[in-house]
Amino acid sequence: MTDVRRIPTRSEIPAADTWDLTHLFKTEEEYRRAFSELKDAYPKILEFKGRLGESADSLLACLEYHKQLEQIAERLSHYASLRNSEDSSADQNLSRRAELTNLLTKVREADSYIDPEIQAIPDDQFQRFLDDSKLADWKISLSRLRRYKPHTLSEAEERLLTLGAPALRGHSDTFSQLTNVDMKFGVLKTGDGQEVALSQSTYLSFLHNQDRDLRRRAFHQFYQEFEDHKFSLASALSSSIRADVFSARIRNYPSALHASLFGDNIPVAVYDNLIATVRKNLPLLHEYYDLRRELLKIQDIHQFDTFVPLIPEIQASVDFEEAIDLVVQALSPLGAGYVEPLRDGLRSRWVDRYETKGKRSGAFSSSSYGNPPYILMNYRTDVFSDVFTLAHEAGHSMHSWFAQQHQLFQDYSYPIFLAEVASTFNEELLTHYLLERAQDNATRAYLVDRQIEDVRQVLFRQTMFAEFEKQVHEIEEAGGPLTLNVFCEVYRDLLEAYFGPRFSIDGELSIECLRIPHFYSAFYVYKYATGISASIALAARVLKGGIAELGAYLSFLKAGGAKFPIDTLRDAGVDMQSPEPIESAMKLFQNRIIQLRELLTE
């Protein structure tokens, strides 16, 4: 449970192993000049106030000037964020980010009139503007903005909502402070006598441990702390839900769910179809839990038995250059136009490769228009799953890279609904590549089990979360009570449905709903489930298809945010309004269970 490796400082690792941020700013002085440029330039945006409806020329002048400000702000934010992720304890990084946040607040205050003023343009005049060739480059973004007109209030009302937002959303800070600062989980003694701190970050590590008694003790000790704070947490969650419903009602949406889906133009039927299709296939999940209980040789299976790996991780040392080769070879079905820029980017310092003192944990991909899509890693040569992490983040990066190459600034940014498709698609291709070349059953079993767990945790588990969010918001919208007991009863019913009749559900698990951070910013998690379903379907199309299927997928990457996500996916060959993509993922899940049983029997 302990890692005795010494973590190096940033100055101790070669520059070649770090990202090259000179594409953003060559020096700190250049960053400061851009900062000053934005500071001096943003007040001019007020010169357009009151004039946006005068003519297409007036509107265009404002939009183009505002775009210049946005591009500078995006590049500054990108740089400040990446520097801060290098070492969040460095005063210079913290100061840079705080100073920029203050400036951007002033910019947002100055440009806040633009959207309401565009909304106020009479319909016939607005249509003339859309038809004017001068505004051709802005037709997509203007049309999307106009969709919000029925849900936009008066200037005075919008100002009140803006001022009241911190109070309405205070529950998020309460949840964060309570769970990350106030709550203390104590220590656990491992089988070899070591005392290890139990925390939000180490809890999952305990659940991965092969020692079942340790897993059990970690589970009960962890949830005891939530049990001691359950009424406060229930209060915070109910406040969050009431804020969602209030915001939806005051903006004239039929429900909080409709309000959440509106921006991406996602029909509620997509959300409902996801839940219904997963519900229909729950016996497959129950079958998997039966297999897990059998393989772990336990009489009853509990939630703390669902994370421990059934197959030990592949014992292999894969250095970063080898990982690049593996990923590029696995993605070769995407053609030279994809793999060559990816290979060049990964080898020309797109990636900050290794853990250093103060560096942000985990991994991410981050981009800004006209600049490299940088990747943060904490790569370890002895952790084979880090190869999958590299493939995942490369998917995000190439999605951004293609979108930048083919879309205008105002149209390139793709929504979260699409974001996880390109990343999990790459993991699908890597799994397929490695399985085809696996030399032994142990390796095959590891890869199959890994994919099973991805589908279980992303498709099944996130859909259960999505169903909980829908149900508790409907209770509030119907005027029902949102008490601790109500939360626990709703969640307990879902646990019983999703885990199945042969699963032992510990009483404490009913309060798991109080500790899921996404529940405090609702209707987000379903996108993980739809994303993995779409990626599985698209990967199968590309691997089994030809030039047309590949072209459709590359067009999906190039589309960025130029179309609504349902349309973008449909053009790529996947209809998320039908059960078919989710059923395809379920079929893969079922086949992998059969494979795993056969491999381990052999």
Return d(Cα 193, Cα 176) in angstroms, integer.
Answer: 32
Distance between CA 538 and CA 572 in Å, rounded? 8
Can you tell me the distance from the alpha carbon of 270 to that of 278, in angstroms, rounded to the nearest whole number?
Answer: 12
What's the Cα-to-Cα distance from 4 to each of 1, 7, 201, rounded to whole Å?
10, 9, 17
Residues 6+ apart with CB under 8 A from 217: 188
State how far the Cα of 341 lies from the Cα of 404, in Å rounded to an integer. Answer: 13
Question: Which residues have C-beta within 8 Å of that of residue 33, sequence separation ≥ 6?
Answer: none
Indicate the SS3 state at residue 565. Answer: helix
The single residue listed with the structure tokens 């930048």 is 404
Spatial distance between the Cα atoms of 43 and 189, rounded to a whole number of angstroms: 60
**Which residues does 460 contact at the CB level (< 8 Å), separation at least 6?**
278, 282, 285, 498
Contacts of 341 (CB under 8 A, 6+ apart): 398, 401
CA nearest 365: which of 377, 381, 354? 377
How many C-beta atoms lie closer than 10 Å to residue 385's C-beta?
12
Closest-CA residue to 558 (of 436, 454, 443, 418): 418
Q: How many CB atoms lie within 10 A of CB 17?
A: 15
How do 374-376 and 195-197 pair as beta strands?
unpaired
Produce one character per residue of 303-337: b if its CB has 16 or more CB atoms within 10 Å, e if not: bbbbbbebbeebeeebebeebbebbbebbebbeee
Contact between 514 and 230 (Cβ < 8 Å): yes
The enclosing H or E element of 189 equals strand 187-189
Instruction: Report the distance separating Cα 93 and Cα 325, nearest Å.
Output: 34
CA distance 561 to 413: 5
Amino acid symbol at 96: R
Identify whether 54 is a catalytic site residue.
no
Residue type at position 539:
A
Side chain identity, residue 572: A
**Contact predicate 541/553, CB 8 Å:** yes
Written as six digits, the tokens of 592 are 């992998």
Distance CA 423, CA 350 (A): 16
| The pairing of beta strand 374-376 with beta strand 364-366 | antiparallel
Task: List, in sequence order, every residue forming a beta bridge with 417; answer none if it has no partner.
Answer: none
Active-site entry in 393, 427, 512, 549: 393
Do 210 and 218 touch, CB atoms closer than 8 A? no
DSSP 19-49: --GGGT-SSHHHHHHHHHHHHHHGGGGGGGT
What amino acid positions are annotated as catalytic residues?
A: 393
